[in-house]
Amino acid sequence: MKKTFVTVLMMMAIGQTMAQEVSFEAKVSKRTLGLNERLRVDFIMNENGDNFNPPSFKGFRVVGGPNQSISNSYVNGKRSFSKTYTYFLIPTQKGALTISQATIDIRGEVYKTSPMKITVTEAVEVPRDPDSPEYLIDDNLHLVAEISNSRPYLNEAITVVYKLYFRNPLRISDGRAVENPQFADFWSHNISIPRLQVEDGTYKGEPYNVVVWKKSVLYPQKTGKLTLEPLTLSLVIDLPSNRRDFFGNRILQQSTRSITAGRSTINVKPLPEEGKPVNFFGAVGQFDFDALINKKALKATESFEIKLKVTGNGNLKLFNLPELVLPNTLEVFEPEHSEDVKTTLSGMQGSIEDNYTIVPRFQGKYPIAPVSFSYFDPKKEKYFTLRSSEQIIDVYGGPIANNSNENSPIVSKQFITNADESFRFIKLNFNLEPIVKKEFWNSKLFYILLITPLFLLLAFVLIVQRNRGISNDVEGSRLRLANRLSKKYLGEAKKNLKNKALFYDALERALYNYLKARLKIKTDDFNKDKIAEFLGQRKLEPQEIQFFIALLENCELARYSPTTDVKMQQDFDQALSVISNIDKKL
pLDDT tens, residue by residue, 397-424: 878 876 544 444 443 334 444 444 444 4
Cis peptide before 66 (omega within 30 of 0): yes
pLDDT at 422: 41
pLDDT at 404: 44
Residue ranges of the chain whose pLDDT lies below 70: 1-20, 74-77, 125-134, 241-251, 402-440, 471-489, 519-526, 559-566, 586
8 Å CB contact between 477 and 457: no
pLDDT at 359: 92
8 Å CB contact between 310 and 372: no
Roughly how many angstroms between the first and final C-alpha of the chain, as a whole number?
120
Burial 408-441 (b: 16+ CB within 10 A, else e): ebebeebeeeeeeeeeeeeeeeeeeeeeeeeeee
Beta partners for residue 333, in sequence order: 417
Four-point Cα dihedral 508, 511, 512, 514, nearest 10: 150
Closest CA to 150 of 217, 209, 226, 250: 226
